[in-house]
Amino acid sequence: MPIETSTSESFRQDLVDAGIVIRTEGLIKTYEMGAEQVHALQGVDLEIRRGEYVAIMGPSGSGKSTLMNLIGCLDSPTSGRYWLAGRLVSDLDDDELAYIRNKEIGFVFQTFNLLPRATALHNVELPLIYNGTPAEERIQKATVALERVDLGDRMNHKPNELSGGQRQRVAIARALVNDPSIVLADEPTGNLDSKTGEEIMGLFENLYRQGNTIIVVTHEMDIAQHAHRVIFIRDGKIASDEKVVKKKPLGD
């Protein structure tokens, strides 16, 4: 049965107990473009449980990037409500939102967003520096994160000494270093060749199997099919929300 809508502590606990890490109700986002209004999202209701691997898909202008920005607490809805890890986001102040973005969400972007003069290790350390983690603990956690993405032997390399796929692995390690509630990836293979893109999507599958909650935003069907659930956005609304049926290897 669906959880009853409420802003009470009991409702918050219900979300946590049900394993719901993301819940939106009637999310609307409208942009003012001069005298014109652009309705980017038109009432999105969504639930994502902890440990799911979800793709949010749609053509350019569909609203998928707007939804990603709201889920990532990078923007605020015009109306509607959003709970992240049991917390009503609209109730949070700027400091709490900054904490959420640092601790609860690991971001992976198409353009990597690495510091060019810093080593892989230092790039992965950055979220820990921002939240005041002591140096020795930072190095330990960043090392473990890089080892998780098979870059333990590239820790002291700078981005220009790494391939595109390796740079994206550094970005994924940075997203994982705080053990976030969700990993939010925006077109993570967009700057990679198809072979390297497949390797990165294989890495996301491994992270999912390890219990991470993965949300990939993409406009490519072959990338979306790596997920276990595909939410298709069109004209600011959810057009479909379906489980992906995985083919069993021959001989199974």
Which whole number is the average pLDDT over 101-126? 92
Q: What is the mean pLDDT of residues 90-109?
A: 89
**What CATH number did the domain enclosing 64 receive?**
3.40.50.300
Q: In the chain, what is the straight-line distance between the N-terminal and C-terminal CA atoms, in Å?
A: 35
| Structural domain for 108, as ranges | 52-76+94-243
Percentage of the chain surpassing pLDDT 70? 94
Between vectors from CA 213 to CA 189 and to CA 238, what angle results, nearest 5°?
A: 75
Provide the mean pLDDT of the chain.
90
Q: For residue 198, which amino acid is it?
A: E
Nearest to 41 by CA among 61, 27, 58, 20: 27
Q: Please give the DSSP secondary-structure letter assigned to residue 134.
A: -
Stretch 193-211: mean pLDDT, rounded? 91
Q: How high is the pLDDT of residue 34?
A: 85
Q: Kindly state whether residue 18 falls inside one of the protein's structural domains.
A: no
- Alpha-carbon distance 213 to 235, whole Å? 26
Q: Say if CB 30 and CB 40 are below 8 A apart.
A: yes
Number of domains making up the chain: 1
Averaged pLDDT for residues 159-171: 94
Residue 248: pLDDT band (50, 70, 90) is: low
Instruction: Evaluate whether residue 41 is within a structural domain.
Output: no
Contact, 43 vs 105, CB < 8 A? no
As a whole number of angstroms, the distance between CA 188 and CA 108 comes to: 7
pLDDT: which is higher, 8 or 1: 8
Instruction: Round to whole Å and give the CA distance between 241 and 140.
Output: 39
Tell whether 10 is covered by a domain.
no
Residue 139 placed within a domain: yes
Inside any domain, residue 81: no
pTM: 0.88
| Residue 162 domain-assigned (yes or no) | yes
**Cα–Cα distance, 6 to 24 (Å, whole number):** 12
Contact 165, 192 (CB under 8 A): yes
The 10 Å Cβ neighbour count of residue 251 is: 4
Phi, psi of 13 (to 5 degrees): -65, -35
Residue 103 has pLDDT above 90, yes or no: no
Residue 20 placed within a domain: no
Please tell me the predicted confidence (pLDDT) of residue 251: 54
Q: How far apart are CA 239 and CA 217, in angstroms?
A: 15
Residue type, 23: R
Examine residue 99 and state whether it is found in any structural domain, yes or no: yes
Dist CA 64 CA 75 (whole Å): 13
Strands 87-88 and 36-49: unpaired
Reported residue count of the chain is 252
Mind giving me the DSSP string for 143-187?
HHHHHHTT-TT-TT--GGGS-HHHHHHHHHHHHHTT--SEEEEES
